[in-house]
Chain A
């Protein structure tokens, strides 16, 4: 049986054929001509492309010792379902998520013991000061919001995070173009040169975090990054004293897709940045493989502040180690309109005056 070699045209995807008059491969659909070696290389690259492959090791936990377990209490909130942990010496008086004071003790069992913890570096006063600073310079913030400013609760919590380590390798193929312009007496010319660009590379990723709690909004926790892992310590229950801890309810498997996406996007960007000098560069294929993936469970410090304004709950979060403060603020639409109209009329007036002065003086 004869082997039938079929080559695709890089310009239009049609089947190209050998043209004996030019000695090159020619596409009968778009009339493009190519060197034989160019097409062979192009098609070999396409045939070698693979799909994404994400491989992670299974997480193994050491587990609590009995003495440690005796010092930890578990509570559940009947209002929002949030679960919190604290030591025997800490008073858990309310739910940090919804403010409900009627939290119920729950049997402490079946929980992973954290591998690491970053202890709190900043106290409650620092969190309150950070909130005041967060309001500064926000010209569209309602005045009443700042004035009322009654913080319902300020709670220091350890939030469960899964920290992922892995090595990532990627292969990407781009189509790049370079444009050249010139003209003669009668015409303007544009020549577009097309290139097939291949990039392969690898990188390692250390402790990419994903929060393991359904009660904590993922976007809020993303915004508080990064943590300084130089402050990461082996877990001891004593670090929890005086603070609450959120109990994880999303295990490492559930959080892996988010991490896969972040790692894939990152290595693709690193490769894309190496394809420079082109007018345009469009990705046509990408395959990422992860290996040596392992997971650790850590508690990371977060200050949570809640306030209500016009019956809406606003949650602010501060990184308990670095002090990074985030939280969306309400907008005063009246101020927005006033600013918009004032700027519009002011700039229009200045512009028109400028035109008059130019005509008058020059």
Chain B
């Protein structure tokens, strides 16, 4: 009997060792098949999305793909993935496919109220420049921060919209640098004015104090020629159609975008 117990104990130990990994795999909010993120960013975003799930009781995750496989469009892929996955009725997910350079925000249930058409446009406009420039870490970080802001706003007040637009926080590294730069300029200007007060000896280059009876005797303004130049106006770049948002069960938001 004692001898039979040993294999059982070993089996149980093995299961316990595998279980955390399985649990971890099931709980991971990032599926980075296309390997666009660095490991540290992946870890941070995973933690942030997990915390958001606990706070807002919705499913949040990011999926990156090398290609769409059998799915025709990224919207179809996202619909199938979310519906067939073990996800909550309410949620927001980001899908990025490197093969087709598509990015798509999928919203489900209450998620489509928090991240409505205005929210999708705002988030797309914020992250697409980074994705286009292959700055994927920055793009996904931006997405996660904005998602958190939009969810927080929806939970505590009304959702951001055209009539109640999202406001970028003024306190950010760029604005702080601008404040420091302006402070340096202003303080330097003031002390240099104070310094110039110490100097009163200046040469005279003019004799206007001694001039009188000035007369203009000839005045001629002749047009010679013209030169015209033109610069092209930048064109807006967007693609993807729009379809209406849904409510309850699975639903999708607007269309995908190219990056």
Contact = CB atoms under 8 A, between A and B. Distances in A.
B1 interface: no
Interface in A86-143: 134, 137-141
B216 A195 contact: no
A348 B203 contact: no
Contact of A190 (B167, B187, B224, B228): B228
Interface string B215-252: 11111111111111111110000000000000000000
Interface in A180-208: 183, 185-208
B180 to A, nearest CB: 6
A193 B183 contact: no
B171 A356 contact: yes
A269 B225 contact: no
Nearest to B220: A198
Interface in A251-304: 259, 261-263, 265-267, 269-271, 274-275
Given A274-B216, A347-B187, A218 B225 contact: no
A31 to B, nearest CB: 10
Interface in A310-360: 325-331, 336, 339-340, 343-345, 347-348, 351-352, 355-356, 358-359
B198 interface: yes
A165 B227 CA distance: 46
B23 interface: no
A202 B194 contact: no
A141 B202 contact: no
Interface string B185-220: 011101100110111111111111111111111111
B226 A336 contact: no
A191 B226 CA distance: 7
Nearest to B176: A352
Interface in B62-94: none
B205 A204 contact: no
Contacts of B179: 348, 351-352, 355
A42 B222 contact: yes
A203 B213 contact: yes
A355 B204 contact: no
Interface stretch (A32-40, A148-156, A242-250): A32-40
Interface residues of B, number: 55
A115 to B, nearest CB: 17
B175 interface: yes
Nearest to B204: A222
Interface centre among B167, B187, B201, B212 (most CB of A within 10 A): B201
Contacts of B18: none
Interface string B165-187: 00101110001100110111011
Contact of A194 (B183, B207, B225, B228): B225
Contacts of A270: 208, 211, 214
B191 A201 contact: no
Given A262-B204, A348-B183, A206 B216 contact: no
A259 B206 CA distance: 9
A340 B191 contact: yes
A15 B77 CA distance: 70
A343 B233 CA distance: 43
A225 interface: yes
A262 B214 contact: no
Contacts of A271: 216
B187 A340 contact: yes
A359 B214 CA distance: 60
B211 A355 contact: no
A194 B231 CA distance: 21
Nearest to A223: B201
B206 A38 contact: no
Contacts of B227: 191-192, 194
B200 A223 contact: yes
A275 B218 CA distance: 12
A138 B197 contact: yes
Contact of A327 (B175, B201, B218): B201
Given A188-B231, A193-B223, A196-B224, A202 B215 contact: yes
A29 to B, nearest CB: 13
A327 B200 contact: yes
Interface centre among B207, B214, B228 (most CB of A within 10 A): B207
A266 B183 CA distance: 39
A41 interface: yes
A362 B171 CA distance: 13
A189 B153 CA distance: 44
A41 B213 CA distance: 29
B184 A344 contact: yes
Given A186-B232, A351-B182, A203 B209 contact: no
5 contacts: A198-B222, A199-B219, A262-B207, A348-B180, A355-B175
Given A355-B171, A355-B176, 19 more contacts: A11-B224, A137-B197, A138-B198, A187-B231, A197-B220, A198-B222, A200-B216, A205-B207, A208-B210, A225-B204, A270-B211, A275-B221, A328-B198, A329-B199, A336-B195, A344-B187, A347-B182, A347-B183, A356-B171
Closest 7 CB pairs of A and B: A343-B187, A351-B179, A200-B218, A347-B183, A222-B204, A198-B220, A203-B214
